[in-house]
Amino acid sequence: MKLEYDLVIIGGGPAGLAAALEAEKNGVENILLLERDKYLGGILFQCIHNGFGLQYFKEDLTGPEYADRFITQINNHKIDIKTETMVVKITPNKQIIALNRNDGLLCIKARAIVLAMGCRERTREAIAIAGSRPAGIFTAGTAQRYINIEGYMPGREVVILGSGDIGMIMARRMTLEGARVKAVLEIMPFSTGLTRNKVQCLDDFDIPLRFNHTITRIEGEKRVEKVTIAQVDKNLQVIPGTEEEISCDTILLSVGLIPENELTKEVGIKLDPITGGPIVNENRETEIEGIFACGNVLQVYDLADYVSEEGEIVGKVAKEYLMGKRRYRSQSVKIIPGENIGYVVPQHIDFLVPDRKKIKLFMRVKKPEERVRINLIDDKGKVLSSYKKGIVTPGEMESVYLPEVLLKDRLKSLTVSVGKEDKEQR
């Protein structure tokens, strides 16, 4: 059995699939893709709804169809694949310890590694809701798996906490399958999901979305019987006297996703406290040379299309790394989140690439704003470039292209800021 590879990719979801295919396309020869589940495709098979591929394929596909496009391709390539294989440890000198039923314990040597482990859902424990511990409390993604893959109906009368995309999609799905979704509660004063999902999943079925609301208590002996909900103030503190009770047998939690970075942390790679993912340069390379990251393990995306796009970036640069064909800038450019910017990926720019025209910067804003500009400001406070945006909201990731010509040799940092449109007009 082969135990030495040029490139090992950990995770066979949209990020890992795109990274593997693109690396092969660019001439990387010895590629191994490791997946802990029985099948490739990650979460896509349980996302049976459409809306995938609008950016990447310019077609409206369902999750399984989107996955199939990549899996069909990968089966036609010379990429080694091991499913039902769990990576338990990676080392700084790029050894990978993995386990599976057929091979037992594996120690694989890699010249480069791509981390593509995705993310997992925040649970009730992560948000600490008081009350008893009855059955009937699920994360939205678990309920999605039960209904769409396993064929079980989690409940009949549902309250959903969190207006993230999976929560709203599950509100529609459960309604179509005959459940009654009594309310979707959102602690923030705005939706954290896509507008498209609010309209087509909630408004279409008259499901009420209540902003500034949260669950304060869960009650039930064996099964959930009711929840107490309450309004919150600007500081997200419960306003006494606003409590109401809703009877229900099921609670779905759609309260955010956490990049799954146990392997990353253990190998000693520093994480960004805001994204929960590793700090990377424009090649999505972590602080250990030759260990890359892409997709939701790096930052939680709204769309699988962007995950595939990032997988491709990594597939391409992995080849450059393996060839030793890279030139560092004399000084790394630090990308700093400024006014109303939560975070920016990549966090720094390290390389000189002669034929590169632009670098795509991904970011999320902290609060919604209308008629603004996203400004790129140099270390002397000068606005280098400015992009008009009708609206920015934390629910929709923003991206702007940084033109390569602006990356002057001695530039130390670049601040990304949201500014009012009129003030910045030039």
Q: Tell me if the bond preceding 346 is cis, omega within 30° of 0.
A: yes
Asked if 343 is part of the footprint of another protein (rule: CB under 8 A), the reply reads no
CA–CA separation, 12 vs 71, rounded Å? 9
Query: Which of residues 299, 393, 415, 417 is near another protein by CB under 8 A?
Result: 393
Of 17 and 279, the one with the shorter C-beta distance to another protein is 17
Q: At what angle do helices 304-323 and 14-25 cross, to 10 degrees?
A: 40
Q: Which stretch binds another protein (CB under 8 A): 4-12, 188-196, 211-219, 248-256?
A: 188-196
Query: Which of residues 55, 75, 93, 195 is near another protein by CB under 8 A?
Result: 195
Asked if 147 is part of the footprint of another protein (rule: CB under 8 A), the reply reads yes
CA–CA separation, 327 vs 313, rounded Å? 17
Of 188 and 232, the one with the shorter C-beta distance to another protein is 188
Residues 45-64 that bind another protein (CB under 8 A): 45, 48-50, 60, 62-64
Query: Least distance (Å) from another protein to the CB of residue 64?
Result: 4
Query: Least distance (Å) from another protein to the CB of residue 116?
Result: 21
Residues 114-143 that bind another protein (CB under 8 A): none
Residues 167-186 that bind another protein (CB under 8 A): 176-177
**Pairing assessment for the beta strands 341-345 and 130-131 based on DSSP bridges:** unpaired
Query: Least distance (Å) from another protein to the CB of residue 147?
Result: 8
* 230 φ, ψ (degrees, to nearest 5): -155, 160
Encoded amino acid at 350, one letter:
D
Torsion of CA 186, 192, 196, 199, to 10 degrees: 10
Residue pair 20/125 in contact by the 8 Å Cβ criterion = no
Query: Least distance (Å) from another protein to the CB of residue 12?
Result: 16
Asked if 84 is part of the footprint of another protein (rule: CB under 8 A), the reply reads no
Per DSSP, the three-state class of 311 is helix
Of 45 and 292, the one with the shorter C-beta distance to another protein is 45
Distances (CA, A) of 401 to 363, 366, 385, 407: 11, 20, 10, 12
DSSP 275-296: TSSB--BTT-B-SSTTEEE-GG
Q: How wide is the angle at C-alpha 377 spanned by C-alphas 371 and 383, nearest 5°? A: 70
Q: Which stretch binds another protein (CB under 8 A): 196-204, 231-239, 259-267, 315-323?
A: 196-204
User: Could you tell me how many residues of this chain bind another protein (CB under 8 A)?
Assistant: 30
Asked if 104 is part of the footprint of another protein (rule: CB under 8 A), the reply reads no
CA–CA separation, 401 vs 359, rounded Å? 5
Asked if 289 is part of the footprint of another protein (rule: CB under 8 A), the reply reads no
Of 259 and 395, the one with the shorter C-beta distance to another protein is 395
Asked if 384 is part of the footprint of another protein (rule: CB under 8 A), the reply reads no
Which residues would be at the binding site for another protein (CB under 8 A)? 45, 48-50, 60, 62-65, 67-68, 147-151, 176-177, 194-196, 198-200, 203-204, 390-391, 393, 396
